[in-house]
Amino acid sequence: MKRMLAALGLTAVVCGACAVPAQAALPVGAAAPDFTVPATLGGHEFSFKLADALKKGPVVLYFYPQAFTGGCTAEAHAFAAAIDQYKAMHATVIGVSHDEIAKLDRFSVSECQSKFPVAADPTLMVAKSYDAKMALVGYAARTSYVIAPDGRVIYAYSNMNPGDHVANTLAAVKAYEAKHG
């Protein structure tokens, strides 16, 4: 009973924090902090380096609270469904959460459908550098950035509802592509 109440209490804290949209603190035009993190694509682990990904085109960097939760699963499915549109514009999509890489190996296969990588940020060091950490709890806030190849933020959006992250980042990448080819 004690465990159940503790779990319900944690759920209430996380859900309560989820009800309030976070604000992306890195403004458009800001330099995106460089990072290297352990990542996985289709269950195959590798080291993801932002600087290397930017050499190929824009990067859609999205932070999410926790793998295998309702909103995070819906968001992963939406990014997987849209991945061909991102790739057509030479954009890289990477999801980042506090989860350990072993959990993300499974998430990358099942929920991301082996279509884009997810990265482990268990200390939330990357999330903090992007001001994408929820206050009071050890989770990333649902925040999406689009970073241009020059390393500058060209779009930022924070909202705990996963519904608009894909459409908004896709529109930002399309606008960048239209302007820069």
Is residue 168 classed as helix, strand or coil in its secondary structure?
A: helix
Task: Extract the tokens encoding 105.
Answer: 């190996």
* CA–CA distance, 96 with 30 (Å, rounded to integer): 20
Residues marked active site are found at 72
Give me the residue label for tokens 């465990």: 3
Amino acid identity of residue 102, one-letter, is A
What are the angstrom distances between the C-alpha of 23 and each of 48, 58, 116, 145? Answer: 25, 22, 25, 12
Distant-in-sequence, close-in-space partners of 67: CB < 8 Å, separation ≥ 6 = 97, 99, 103, 104, 106, 107, 111, 118
